[in-house]
Structures are given as structure tokens and as C-alpha cells.
Amino acid sequence: MELLDNVLLGLETAMTLQNLFYCLVGCLLGTLIGVLPGVGPTTTIALLLPITFGLDPSTSLIMLAGIYYGAQYGGSTTAILVNLPGEASSAVTAIDGYKMAQKGKAGSALAIAAIGSFIAGTIATVVVVVFSPPLSELALRFGPPEYFSLIVLGLILSVTLANGSVLKALAMIILGLLFGLVGADIYTGIPRFTFGEPSLMDGINFVAFATGLYGISEILSNLEQDPSRKSKVSKPKGLLPTWPEMKRSIGPILRGTGLGSVMGVLPGGGATLSSFAAYTLEKKLSKHPEEFGEGAIEGVAGPESANNAGAQTSFIPMLTLGIPGNGVMAIMIGALMIQGIQPGPSVMTTNPALFWGLIASMWIGNVMLLLLNLPLVGIWVKLLSTPYNFMFPAIILFSAIGIFSTNMNGLDLGLVAMFGLLGYVLIKLDCEPAPFLMGFILGPLLEENLRRAMMFSRGNPATFFASPLSAGLLAVAAIALILMILPAVRNQRQKVFTE
């Protein structure tokens, strides 16, 4: 059987001592940078690029890929422990993961994130092996109108990220959209809301935004209480999830994997959207939706699995079409080219050992990460018992170093402070950060695809209903919006009647 031969070839390549070693190096580095706030995989991979010149192409790709998915594991650690999501996708994990940590269940949250990621990674590797060609065609079917409709659906669903009032959630999404407008208009190059500051031309730095909004505002509100107290966190109750917790998580893990595997294929934000979508789905399916936002383990298991599955399948457009789905992939394509390999469909036939070796290494890397992360859970949980008056300056210090070193730009630190204050005000107003963040991430994508679709259609909005894919997504969005508003309207009417 050809497939089996290919998988064996892949394992043979990935299992050499050298490749195993570099896979481990990549996973370790990835976990480390994932844990460090501010430093992302894109920068790390770019900086390590020159080191790979001297390595064998498959070895260098295996190491770089290890950094990428290692960072996905590590990023959720800080989100759960100290409410610091380093990447858009782990912002969802922070919602329930951080609440779990505060209730003394950091161990369960971290472990279920690692286990979920592992299961998702394993299944997604199989998806990459079996479904690469049809999924890459799906990526090509997504033109500007389809992306626009998908993002509209994503925005509407992000209302469910909030627990409180629908109105406040909508307001937060719109506020996020407005902040997303900052920067040069990509269609004319004209600066918008940059106040003459060139470093705002590319928009507000996401890491500064998320660190301020989540991490710093949380510190501010914690400091309202007596800072000398040991820690707000309850005593840890065991490091591993209990059996009932595992049972509750298995469904979300599998559903998250499914969502992540499909959406990860879409270049430009598919993997990020999938973790939000997984959270929404779990909240809708759950018998206890009121637990979401208060530390529901499903709210960690689903998005984490989706995120990791998406990270894996986002390799599909790169491997089969040579199209990079995100910044990390773009640099990996550079790494391949410098080795004299042209990424694209021909890689599978001209360099089968490289192609299958990389895929096999993904699964091996996932095993390594699981083995690496489960023992680390104990250490992380111990860190939480550090007195808060040592902990919060350390969080601020490391965040500041990480954020400054990425762009060498002092303004980013000012932004962290500003969004920290804004986040604090929002906490006081009972407005939740997740829909705000979602609007901020999706706003620029929404505008870009709306305007692009309109340019191609010469200003005819019928383009959004012309393709069944786009029309279908818009229809789902409309139904979701109606379902969301109906109960609110009904309650309002009941109130009116009782009065």
C-alpha cells in the first residue's frame, strides 16, 4: 500500500538520531518562547534561520516546525497561569483556564490542554496524510466574498464568548473593530488614527494589546486587594485531571479537533478562528453553559484541541500549494528555498523523504511535547504559590522585555500600559475582554475582504450571495443572530408585560 510505504519512509526519516535531536530542540525552544510573553514563534524562527543553512533540509524543517507547534503548547501555559495570552488563539484558553487556575485547578487545566493538544495533534497528522489534496482545494475555493462571510459569522459567534449582556458584548466587538482601524489603509496607504506616529502605520501591536488588556488589567484589579497576601489562587487540588473531568473533556477535544483540522487549512486566520469557534460550540452544546467563563474544563479542552489541530493542518496549503498560511509558514518557505527546494506540490514527488519525514516528525513532536509538558505541570503549579508581590513585578518585567525586544519600539510599552488601564476600566464596567479582542483581530480582516470583494465585483454586493459557500455562511450568521436576539426580546417583552 502506497500510503503505508510513505508513512514508513516518513518515520524512517524522522527517527534518525539527528532528526530526533533537532525535533526535541525545536519543541523545547518552542515551549520556552511560548511561555515567555511577547516573544512569538515567527521572530524565533526567523532568528534561527541562519543556523539551518548548514543542516539537512528535512532536519531544519523538522526543527522549525517543532518550534511552531511547541509554541502552541507553551502559549496556553501563561494564558492559564497568569492570564497572559501570547497569541490570539490562546486568548480563548485564558477565559476558563485562568478561572480554573484561580480555583486551584491549574494542574487539571494545564494537563487537559496538553492531553487535548496531543490527541488533536495525532488526529490532525492523520488528516494531513490522508486529506491534503482535497483540503488544499478547499483553501482555493475561499475567495474574498467567502472570507468576508466567514468573518461575519465569526464576529456574531464571538458574542457567545461573553457571559454578561449581549448588548455589552456587541459594544465590545465594535470597540475592537474600531481599534483595528488604526494603521495605514491597505488600499491607499493613507494613515488612519496614527497621530503622525510611524510605528502605528502597521496597526496596533497585537501582543501589546493582549498583554495590556488581559495581563496588566488583571494585575491592576488584583492589587486592589492587599498585595501582601500570599496569592489569590486557592490551594492546588492535585496535578492531573480527575476521571469525571477527563470524561467531560473527551467530546470537546474531538469536536475541537474536527473544527481545527478543517479551519486550519484556510490561510489567514483560520486556525485562530477555529479556537473561538470551538469555544462557542462547546458553550452551545453544554448542559451547563453557565459554568463557561467560571472555569469550565470544556472551555479549555475544546479551543486548545482546535488550536493545535489547526496549527498542524495549516501546513497543508504550504506543503501542497506553496502558499504560506501565516507568517511562520512564510519563513519556512524561505528556509526551504535557501536549501534549494521549491515548496509546492512537487515536493511530495521530488523530496518524498522531506515531506513524509516532516509529517512523521509532527506526531513524534507531539509525543515529546506531551512527555515534556505533563511533568512541567507540577513546576508551573508550584510557581503559582509565589507571593503575589514578587509575582506581579516579574510578570510585568518579562512582558516588557519580550514586547520591547520584538520591535525595539518604546511606543509598544506605552500601548501595554494604555490597554492595561483600559482593560481595568472595562473590568469595572463589567465588559469582557474576549469579544473586544475578537473584534480587534477580525476587524482588519473583515474590512480587507469586504473591500477586496467589492473591488473585484465592481461594487456589486450580490457577490456575497453568488457563491453557495458565501451565501451559506451568511445564512448561518443570520440564523445565529436571530437565535441570540430572540430570548433577549422575549425577556424584554415579559418584563414589559409583568410591569
Cell output for 287: 448542559
Q: Shortest distance, CB of residue 326 to another protein, whole angstroms?
A: 10
For residues 147 and 179, which CB has a smaller minimum distance to another protein in the complex? 147
C-alpha–C-alpha distance, residues 263 and 124, integer Å: 12
Q: Shortest distance, CB of residue 448 to another protein, whole angstroms?
A: 7
C-alpha–C-alpha distance, residues 400 and 321, integer Å: 38
C-alpha–C-alpha distance, residues 124 and 135, integer Å: 12
For residues 339 and 386, which CB has a smaller minimum distance to another protein in the complex? 339
Residue 447: CB atoms within 10 Å:
18
For residues 242 and 346, which CB has a smaller minimum distance to another protein in the complex? 346
Q: Shortest distance, CB of residue 48 to another protein, whole angstroms?
A: 10
Residue 83: CB atoms within 10 Å:
26
For residues 327 and 352, which CB has a smaller minimum distance to another protein in the complex? 327
Q: Shortest distance, CB of residue 64 to another protein, whole angstroms?
A: 11
Q: Shortest distance, CB of residue 208 to another protein, whole angstroms?
A: 13
Spatial neighbors of 363 by CB under 8 A, at least 6 apart, are 121, 122, 125
For residues 188 and 228, which CB has a smaller minimum distance to another protein in the complex? 188
For residues 354 and 384, which CB has a smaller minimum distance to another protein in the complex? 354
Q: Shortest distance, CB of residue 411 to another protein, whole angstroms?
A: 10
Asked if residues 54 and 404 have their Cβ atoms less than 8 Å apart, the reply is no
For residues 322 and 352, which CB has a smaller minimum distance to another protein in the complex? 322
For residues 375 and 459, which CB has a smaller minimum distance to another protein in the complex? 459
Residues binding another protein (CB under 8 A): 42-43, 45-47, 49-50, 53, 139-144, 184-191, 196, 198-199, 201-202, 267-268, 321-324, 327, 330-331, 333-334, 337-340, 342-346, 407-409, 448, 452, 455-456, 458
Q: Shortest distance, CB of residue 27 to another protein, whole angstroms?
A: 21
Q: Shortest distance, CB of residue 115 to another protein, whole angstroms?
A: 33
Q: Shortest distance, CB of residue 493 to another protein, whole angstroms?
A: 46
For residues 21 and 456, which CB has a smaller minimum distance to another protein in the complex? 456
For residues 386 and 406, which CB has a smaller minimum distance to another protein in the complex? 406
The three-state DSSP-derived secondary structure of the chain is CHHHHHHHHHHHHHCCHHHHHHHHHHHHHHHHHHHCCCCCHHHHHHHHHHHHCCCCHHHHHHHHHHHHHHHHHHHHHHHHHHCCCCCHHHHHHHHHHHHHHHCCCHHHHHHHHHHHHHHHHHHHHHHHHHHHHHHHHHHHHCCHHHHHHHHHHHHHHHHHHCCCCHHHHHHHHHHHHHHHCCEECCCCCCEECCCCCHHHCCCCCHHHHHHHHHHHHHHHHHHCCCCCCCCCCCCCCCCCCCHHHHHHHHHHHHHHHHHHHHHCCCCCCHHHHHHHHHHHHHHHHCCCHHHCCCCCCHHHHHHHHHHHHHHHHCHHHHHHHCCCCCHHHHHHHHHHHHCCCCCCCHHHHHCHHHHHHHHHHHHHHHHHHHHHHHHHHHHHHHHHCCCHHHHHHHHHHHHHHHHHHHHCCHHHHHHHHHHHHHHHHHHHCCCCHHHHHHHHHHHHHHHHHHHHHHHHCCCCCCHHHHCHHHHHHHHHHHHHHHHHHHHHHHHHHHHHHHC
Q: Shortest distance, CB of residue 256 to another protein, whole angstroms?
A: 26
Q: Shortest distance, CB of residue 189 to another protein, whole angstroms?
A: 4
For residues 52 and 373, which CB has a smaller minimum distance to another protein in the complex? 52
Q: Shortest distance, CB of residue 187 to another protein, whole angstroms?
A: 6
For residues 296 and 453, which CB has a smaller minimum distance to another protein in the complex? 453
C-alpha–C-alpha distance, residues 96 and 109, integer Å: 9
